Amino acid sequence: MKQNFTWKFLVIIVIIILALWQLSYTIRFMTLSEEQKSEMDPIKLSRLEDRAIHLGLDLSGGMHIILEVDKSKLTAQDAKGATGRALEVIRNRIDQYGVSEPVIQKQGEDRILIELPGVVDKQRARELIGKTAQLEFKLTVNNAKTQDIIKKIDEVLSKSELAKNDSIYNENLFSSIAIFNGYDIKVLKSDIYLVSEILNREDVKNAIPGDVIFLWGPSPKPTDSQERSLFLVYSKTLLTGASIIDARAGIGTSNNPMGVKVDLTMTRKAAGKWAAITGANIGENIAIVLDSIVQSAPRVITRIPNGRSEIEMGNSSMADGKSLAIILRAGALPAPVKIIEERIVGPTLGQDSIRKGLNAIIIGGILVLIFMAIYYSAAGLVADFALTFNIIILLAILSLFRATLTLPGLAGIILTIGTAVDANVLIFERIREEIKAGKTFRTAIDSGYDKAFTTILDANATTLLAAIILYWFGAGAIKGFAVTLSIGIVVSFFTAIFATRLIFDWVVTKFQIKKIRI
């Protein structure tokens, strides 16, 4: 009998030690100040955070976004699975961005729900999620043809009302505000709107050959020069982003040792085509176009046989380079998306929710412990131990399986406390009935546990089934509640049937106790 008790107690002790060890990561991480986190080794901090209980959007703060996929320009066949494909692309981007426990779910036919707990840089997150990222390689138009087209535009405008209204530019209106330097066309920031208006005129469009188009370079930042580049490129796309298998941000370009770049690696099939394209256009410039914006237009110095290329990011930051690399690796969205709802949950609100939730758990738990100790005396203390054991294991399992704790999850913990107590109440009342029927205390314990077992099993099984259904069909916060409740039910069943029974059996056998107040 002693040996039997030994291994059973050993099981409980090992479980408690492992649970406390697992919870130590959460305790250490949550007690770190922001200053301590900033001073800590990023790798160690990341590992510590990974092993701690993850907090949902309502507890840690972050972004809640609903996107709508624009299928208006897609064919019926392409539109059919566009939302699903967009969801997977966005999921890949967010995973590479490094958000902990994001929620990304389809809503209806053309909407996607996104929750990003703990996201600080809101603007970068919006760009990362919503950017279509259509990458194209296009050949730029040579100098002679570019100058000829600019001259034709000047001729058209010289006959228009613009030249008559602005005598400063006379017959060279376009070439005076869009200055070609042999590489690109420079436009002052103050003239960007006017140039765009000119290029959208029907008479100007008719003067431009159908096989070429004007594309802008990136918008100038406040700290940059007050000019924006304009490129004339051929409409034909040489290669697309589908040719890219890897993209990595780095520092150091051929024109700027400190410039940000993104190195591209192409598929084997595309590498062969790229070798032929670069070999046939040595001395020419090939524009790298992202969402109709020319990121750079490097000159082809020699044939590139290995399928490796480089996007020069100009004066962009390393963070911009990393974001672009993520987008290119994850792929392009099948259709444009727009944000139709956005909510920001501040960390202050999240901390307030945690405080109130913990207060509810602590106050509710203490009241239950006091009630059990008063109403069931010594047996109630055994139930109190089981309840404490239950909560420790529950939190440790949430941490172990990287589950996300949300505000409804805290409600699930509170409900678990009630479930655990309910099982003990059923057992204790059964034992009382057996004692009143004249049975010995040891026999009453055996009979009480045996008869209550089926009732407890049925009650827990039906609740667990409901929790599984909630998880399967629910979303976001409902899933968090279902996960916490499911784990709590399984743990409370173990503590009520195994842990408390072990204590009763050990006390009765060890001390030959004939009766305990219950």
Residues 404/118, Cβ–Cβ less than 8 Å: no
- Give me the pLDDT at residue 232, please: 94
CA angle 114, 115, 116 (to 5 degrees): 120
In order of 6, 32, 120, 399, 411, the CA distances from 23 in angstroms are 26, 15, 26, 7, 20
Q: Which residues contact 74 (CB under 8 A, 6 or more apart)?
A: 82, 334, 335
Q: Tell me 462's DSSP state.
A: H
**Average pLDDT rounded to a whole number, residues 212-216:** 93
What's the mean pLDDT when you consider all of the chain?
81
CB atoms within 10 A of CB 220: 18
Residues 331/91, Cβ–Cβ less than 8 Å: no
Residues 458/383, Cβ–Cβ less than 8 Å: no
Name the pTM for this structure: 0.53
Per-residue pLDDT of 500-516, as tens digits, reads 888 888 888 877 776 66
Per-residue pLDDT of 451-484, as tens digits, reads 888 888 888 898 889 888 888 877 656 777 888 8
User: Looking at the chain, how many residues does it have?
Assistant: 518
Q: With b meaning 16 or more CB within 10 Å and e meaning fewer, what string describes 323-355?
A: bbbbbbbbbbbbbbbeeeeeeebeeeebeebbe
Residue 253, pLDDT > 70, answer yes
Structure tokens at 101: 């426990």
Q: Which residues contact 503 (CB under 8 A, 6 or more apart)?
A: 382, 385
Residue 262, pLDDT > 50, answer yes
End-to-end alpha carbon distance in the chain: 25
Residues 179/147, Cβ–Cβ less than 8 Å: no
Per-residue pLDDT of 63-92, as tens digits, reads 888 888 888 877 787 787 788 878 877 877
Per-residue pLDDT of 355-367, as tens digits, reads 777 788 788 878 8
- Give me the pLDDT at residue 147, please: 92
Per-residue pLDDT of 423-444, as tens digits, reads 888 888 888 888 888 888 788 8
Give the amino acid at 35: E
- Give me the pLDDT at residue 456, please: 87
Domains delineated in the chain? 2-34+346-511 (1.20.1640.10), 64-132+333-345 (3.30.70.3400), 136-318 (no CATH)
Q: Using CA atoms, how far apart are residues 389 and 13, in angstroms rounded to an integer?
A: 10
Per-residue pLDDT of 319-371, as tens digits, reads 777 877 776 776 667 777 888 888 776 655 566 767 777 788 788 878 888 88
Q: Using CA atoms, how far apart are residues 137 and 173, in angstroms rounded to an integer?
A: 31
Structure tokens at 374: 């008063």
Q: How confident is the model at residue 1 (pLDDT cuts 50, 70, 90)?
A: very low
- Give me the pLDDT at residue 235, please: 93
Residue 193, pLDDT > 80, answer yes
**Average pLDDT rounded to a whole number, residues 279-295:** 85
Share of the chain above pLDDT 70, in %: 88
SS3 per-residue string spanning 335-369:
CCEEEEEEEEECHHHHHHHHHHHHHHHHHHHHHHH
Per-residue pLDDT of 136-181, as tens digits, reads 889 999 999 999 999 999 888 887 776 565 555 556 788 888 889 8
- Give me the pLDDT at residue 139, please: 94
- Give me the pLDDT at residue 97, please: 67
Q: Using CA atoms, how far apart are residues 330 and 86, in angstroms rounded to an integer?
A: 11
Q: Give burial (CB, 10 Å; 0-12/13-18/19+) of 38.
A: exposed
Residue 93, pLDDT > 60, answer yes
- Give me the pLDDT at residue 211, please: 92
Residues 268/295, Cβ–Cβ less than 8 Å: no
Nearest Cα to 493, choosing from 432, 452, 445?
452
Residue with tokens 């890949």, as numbered in its chain: 92
Q: Using CA atoms, how far apart are residues 358 and 410, in angstroms rounded to an integer?
A: 8
CA quadruple 272, 273, 274, 278: dihedral, nearest 10: 110
Q: Kindly report each contact of residues 16-19 with a partner whose C-beta sits within 8 Å and lies 24 or more positions away, as own/partner.
A: 16/389, 16/392, 18/396, 19/392, 19/393, 19/395, 19/396
Structure tokens at 126: 């919006």
In order of 102, 105, 451, 466, 467, the CA distances from 473 in angstroms are 18, 12, 35, 11, 10
Residues 479/366, Cβ–Cβ less than 8 Å: no
Share of the chain above pLDDT 90, in %: 9
Residues 230/189, Cβ–Cβ less than 8 Å: no
